[in-house]
A and B are shown apart, each in its own frame.
Chain A
Amino acid sequence: MNVDLLTQSPVFVLAIPLLFAFLTPLANKVSKELRNAVFLIGLLLTTLFVSLMAYEVYTMGSWIYVFGAEQPTTGLTTQSFFRITFLADGFSVLAALTIIITALGAGIYSFGHMKESNGLGKFYTLFLLTLAGVNGMVLTSDLFNLFVWFEVTSIASCGLIAYHNDRGESVEAALKYMIISVIAGLLLLFSIGFFYGEYGVLNYFLIRDSMTGSLIDILAIGMVMVILAMKASSVPMHMWAPDAYSEAPEPITPFIAITSLGSLFVLFRLLFFVFRGAVETSAIGSILIILGVLSMFIGVSMALKQSDLKRLIAYLSVSQVGYMMMAVGVGFATLGTGDYGIFGARAMEGGLFHMINDGVYKALLFLSAGGIVYVADTRDLNKLGGLAHHMPYTTFFFIIGGLSIAGIPPLSGFSSKLLIYKSVYLYNPVLAIIALVVSIVTLALIGKIFFNAFLGPDQGVGKKIPRSMILAMSILTIVVVLFSLFPNYVVAEIVVPAIEALGVGA
């Protein structure tokens, strides 16, 4: 049997982290060096298969991978109602690239940051399980399979948040995350049951072709939308995020944030690809815009009152989710109208470009913050100061990440925000003004962290940043710089194919 690695790559994107997740504790029994090697090999192989999938999608086009079919690319047939399918297309690649870049950074960072911790066999297992779960969420095109990966991600993330179980705050944050995830998971299953009860199918394509826009459809779509918005930490359902982000181990924080972004990818996939024909696009678009504006404004407002470094960045993260929801909401609201061609598609470009940007620079920011916590042993901005004397590299990485999240040219955050400002302005100027104001306050808050943590008199520190942490932050910085220097290339080669994969013109 001829096994074409390129065609099989979506399965390996999932199978490799799953396999290595269970190899890691076995390797841990032998030695910690072997455990670290197994974890790193798993991470690098996953990166390789994501790259292969991206190469195949960009050179040969997208394909549906049907599990259990004689040939995996024979596509959907009426006999494959119950076969799980994965969708390898531009949108899956955009999501998978965002996830794997962050995972690679966080994974390498873990070697240095976590080296003095106990139970690392379990830690790396949960890490790879989370990676498998979130990859599965964005690749699958089967609703029940989506639920399975949603649960895998939630359970593994919960374990990671509670990793420092000697700290009451970590356990509390994990408990809150678990309660929220269980409610979200059960309601997701409930809404999937609605679709299955009505149409007898679970596949995205088959549901899309069957949907009639009935009251049951509306109910199920509304529930799926709110569940995924909550998991994406959209205001007013964001409150779990600062708890989880701030209490998770430092290398894990960007990874928990990427699971939120994964939920947002799934939300956009379902809305555009599956539910579009059954709903009033202007209504769904308006909901996305309202949630987006609330997230932007309340996220950044709450960040103003924080003196905990990681909580502050967590609220900024909530605020950034708002940009994506608002921009994609404008795209959705204008679907089927002449405005889509004028500015709706550009808003989509800005929103999706901002997603991959945000995934990377936010990871860089959280890892820089992790470096601060590692060296100074506190997250309290009232106690920090003068770290630039000891951490020149981390200072540089923080500046790159911070200016990017604030949308300062020429960094990548500016490129995506510029697209958002200009396109959203044509939809409603007030939205663009709010987005600009939020960016200004974000810059002020990045200035606050920079001033408090890095500037000021030398207060002395006891630790040096390990090389693996520097390497991880360097990788993310290089990606941010590349996205900053070649935004047009990223939009043309990665973002536009993603929009086209959603079945709407770019």
Chain B
Amino acid sequence: MIDIVLQDIWSPIIFILVGILVSLIAYMFYLMGNPDYKRTKYKGDPFISGNRPPTDLKELHVGGDNVYWGFTKALRKYLDPLVEGHTGIVNDYVYWFVVTLAVVLVFLYIM
């Protein structure tokens, strides 16, 4: 039988201990790195297909509408009707309530 008692399948304390252990190992690898590394002018700068990064730092920040733009664009056939359905008109809120009530009552009656 599949055991799904929480204490048998999940222990946050062990997870944290393992996390600390992995962090220590990662830190050891870090210490093994090149000690002569020095941050120069170009090291660590953003690479934008060879273009120079914008000088105005604010231009570097991607705004809320643009984050996951490709994802929401690809899903527009699903998302656009959904957004249009949220009209903000209270009559529609009541409409959905009445429809849900009717469906639930019919379902309960049939069952």
Question: A residues within 8 Å of B by Cβ?
Answer: 175-176, 179-180, 183, 215, 218-219, 221-223, 225-226, 229-230, 236-237, 239-240, 243, 279-280, 282-284, 286-287, 298, 301-302, 304-305, 307, 342-343, 346, 349, 380-386, 409-410, 414-415, 418-419, 422-423, 426, 444, 448, 451-452, 455-457, 459, 484-488, 491-492
Task: Scan B1-19; emit 1 where CB is below 8 A from any A CB, else 0.
Answer: 1101111011111011001
Majority secondary structure, A binding face: helix
Contacts of B43 in A (CB 8 A): none
Contacts of A229 in B (CB 8 A): 100
B108 lies within 8 A of A448 (CB): no
Residue in B10, B60, B83, B100 whose CB lies within 8 Å of A418: B10
A456 lies within 8 A of B94 (CB): no
Closest to A384 in B: B64
B6 lies within 8 A of A418 (CB): yes
Closest to B8 in A: A488
Given contacts A179-B94, A222-B101, A225-B104, contact A280 B68 (CB under 8 A): no
13 further A-B pairs in the complex, CB-CB below 8 A; given A180-B97, A280-B111, A418-B9: A226-B104, A237-B93, A282-B111, A283-B111, A287-B108, A342-B1, A343-B4, A384-B64, A415-B10, A419-B4, A451-B67, A452-B61, A488-B6
B4 lies within 8 A of A304 (CB): no
Q: Is B105 on the interface with A (CB-CB < 8 A)?
A: yes
Closest to A419 in B: B6
In angstroms, Cα B85 to Cα A312, docked, is 17
Given contacts A222-B105, A305-B83, A349-B6, contact A448 B96 (CB under 8 A): no
Q: Is B57 on the interface with A (CB-CB < 8 A)?
A: yes
Interface centre among B15, B72, B92, B100, by most chain A C-beta atoms within 10 angstroms, is B100
Given contacts A221-B108, A419-B6, A487-B12, contact A243 B58 (CB under 8 A): no
List B85-111 residues whose CB lies under 8 Å from chain A: 86, 88, 90, 92-94, 96-97, 99-101, 104-105, 107-109, 111
B interface residues, how many (CB within 8 angstroms) = 48
Interface centre among A342, A349, A422, A486, by most chain B C-beta atoms within 10 angstroms, is A422
Contacts of B7 in A (CB 8 A): 488, 491-492
Interface centre among B9, B11, B19, B94, by most chain A C-beta atoms within 10 angstroms, is B94
A226 lies within 8 A of B101 (CB): yes
Contacts of A240 in B (CB 8 A): 90, 93
In angstroms, Cα B63 to Cα A380, docked, is 9
